[in-house]
Structure 1
Amino acid sequence: MTAEHHTATSADPLVLYGQTFSSRLLLGTSRYPSPHVLEAAVRKAQPAMLTASLRRQNVSAHDAPNRFWDMLRELDVPVLPNTAGCHSVQEVITTAQMAREVFNTPWIKLELIGDDYTLQPDTLNLVDAASRLIKDGFQVLPYCTEDLVLCQRLVDVGCQAIMPWAAPIGTGKGPINPYALRTLRERLSVPMLVDAGLGLPSHACQVMEWGFDGVLLNTAVALAQDPIGMAGAFASATQAGRDAFLSGTMTEQHAAQASTPVLGTPFWHQA
């Protein structure tokens, strides 16, 4: 990593598209046992943003979905709409434009699914979708694989941040291709948030130690036995990983190195 290390500090904000966020953890809002648990988990983690699908929005009916959105507004955490479930570029564009009207925000998490089994992004059409959204005034956070060439193309068309996966969505496997992720971090200078596949707080800590700028997760918290406690654990782990990166981790050694000097220490030998 070529970035200059400096003393770790809590005043180390995440900056995306010129906007500052105090947290480096983003949370999803689906699959929680209840809205009450979701609310408590969000208050525990204090995330930078909450992702939500437009498909859950119902602006006219006074029903459960509407109460869900009322709760999100009360939490006063910025909402990051996503294009979850979209399988074509045109579907992405239409969904993003609707989300901008509903949420009154230019932010969009770009999801363009290419495979329904792995939920892998459509890497062949993702750049085109991102380019069209950016030209339409969106601040795009694209969900992508860890492919270096793909990520570079996304940056080239104007994405000021990218979100590579650690593993397929919802698997909880953690970073399955550390080499590719670390290479990506070394080669690109834009902010990068690891999105999808994290299952343990240690996974979040690890990618933050590598120099990633944040993490986005949902299932690992929502399906935990104690989602509220797990939300706090991920928040702490994310910050710990960032602090470790800024502090400069030691260089790995191939042989044991004594931590206590032995020069001048008397040695007693039995006869």
Structure 2
Amino acid sequence: MTGTGKYRNFDQMRQSIVASGCEIVTVAVRRVQTNAPGHEGLAEAIDWGKIWMLPNTAGCKTAEEAVRVARLGREMAKLLGQEDNNFVKLEVIPDPKYLLPDPIGTLEAAEQLVQEGFAVLPYINADPLLAKRLEEAGCATVMPLGSPIGSGQGIKNTANIQIIIETAQVPVVVDAGIGTPSEAAQAMELGADALLINTAIAQAENPAIMARAMGMATEAGRMAFLAGRIPVKTYASPSSPLTGTITN
């Protein structure tokens, strides 16, 4: 999955979406609704017959705000031809400095939206207990952050993300903080089902090339996870066996 924010222009955004190979793209409902700078005409800039829209509740500080914006997002998706689209990326973020999600508000909003028939994809801290509560509430996925939004710090919560992956019965999407393709591959090697990457692509010197690199790394990381890595050993192990070697 990729995002639509922070691109220099719509052409770079469209090129990057194609290059990444993604099939789902997030749209900040509130910013589209208000024609915020950089979002004027965004809804019309993408061929929604080919890309699945993931409306998100970015900018919402409370559960109540997030529920209201999610409803608007569902109507927006219908207006753009996606009649069956009940997806919402749920963000409840009252913290303007670190942009860390509110766990209590997120759970409250998720419970309400699930009751209203939404497929809820909640953005959360890498908290295994919260992830389980959201799964039990009926969320379609859980989306733990790798590190703060837009920071490019990479995967700083490896142990907790691994616990979430091992215990979740719904898909796990690592969201936020990925800065390089190697970090994308690392997240997939842990066993994540998908990634959501925005800033690392949009703010790269060449977004389309970075988008392609991220897509390739995502696939490589998933293949590595499925292949099964070798055990880590304390001592060296020769690649060529010693048996059958020539001796004097």
* Alignment TM class, shorter chain as reference: over 0.9
Following superposition of structure 1 onto structure 2, how do residues 188-267 of structure 1 map, counting pairs within 5 Å?
188-267=168-247
1:169 and 2:143 equivalent?
no
Shift of 1:66: 5.4
- Identity percentage over the alignment? 37
- The aligned residue for residue 8 of structure 1 is none
1:119 and 2:105 equivalent?
no
1:28 and 2:3 equivalent?
yes
CA distance in 1, matches of 2:181, 2:156: 15
CA distance in 2, matches of 1:172, 1:156: 31
CA contact (8 A) 1:39 1:75 kept: no
CA distance in 2, matches of 1:158, 1:74: 27
Post-superposition CA distance 1:37-58 (Å, at most 9, x none) = 1111111112121101112335
CA distance in 2, matches of 1:31, 1:114: 20
Displacement over 6 Å in runs of 4+:
none
Describe the SS at the equivalent of 1:254.
coil
Shift of 1:75: 7.0
Describe the SS at the equivalent of 1:38.
helix
1:86 and 2:66 equivalent?
no
Describe the SS at the equivalent of 2:195.
strand
CA contact (8 A) 2:57 2:91 kept: yes
Shift of 1:98: 1.1
- The aligned residue for residue 72 of structure 1 is 46
Post-superposition CA distance 1:125-173 (Å, at most 9, x none) = 2111100000011000000011111111001111131100000000011
- The aligned residue for residue 98 of structure 1 is 72
Post-superposition CA distance 1:62-102 (Å, at most 9, x none) = xx855432221367211100000101111011101111112
Describe the SS at the equivalent of 2:201.
helix
Post-superposition CA distance 1:167-211 (Å, at most 9, x none) = 000001111121111122112231100000000111110110111
CA distance in 2, matches of 1:124, 1:140: 15
CA distance in 1, matches of 2:186, 2:235: 23
- The alpha-carbon distance between structure 1 residues 183 and 69, as it changes in their structure 2 partners (threshold 3 A), is same
Structure showing greater relative contact order (alpha-carbon pairs closer than 8 Å, 6 or more residues apart) = 1
CA distance in 2, matches of 1:39, 1:76: 12
Quick check: which has more Rg, 1 or 2? 1
- The aligned residue for residue 6 of structure 1 is none
Higher mean Cα deviation, 37-46 or 233-242? 37-46
1:261 partner letter: P
CA distance in 2, matches of 1:222, 1:171: 13
Query: When the two structures are superposed, what TM-score results if normalisation uses the length of structure 2?
Result: 0.92
- The alpha-carbon distance between structure 1 residues 115 and 56, as it changes in their structure 2 partners (threshold 3 A), is closer
Higher mean Cα deviation, 224-233 or 93-102? 93-102
- The aligned residue for residue 183 of structure 1 is 163
Match for residue 56 of structure 1 among 31, 36, 39? 31
Following superposition of structure 1 onto structure 2, how do residues 8-19 of structure 1 map, counting pairs within 5 Å?
none
Shift of 1:266: 2.5
CA contact (8 A) 1:114 1:123 kept: no
Shift of 1:213: 0.2
- The aligned residue for residue 39 of structure 1 is 14
CA distance in 1, matches of 2:21, 2:178: 18
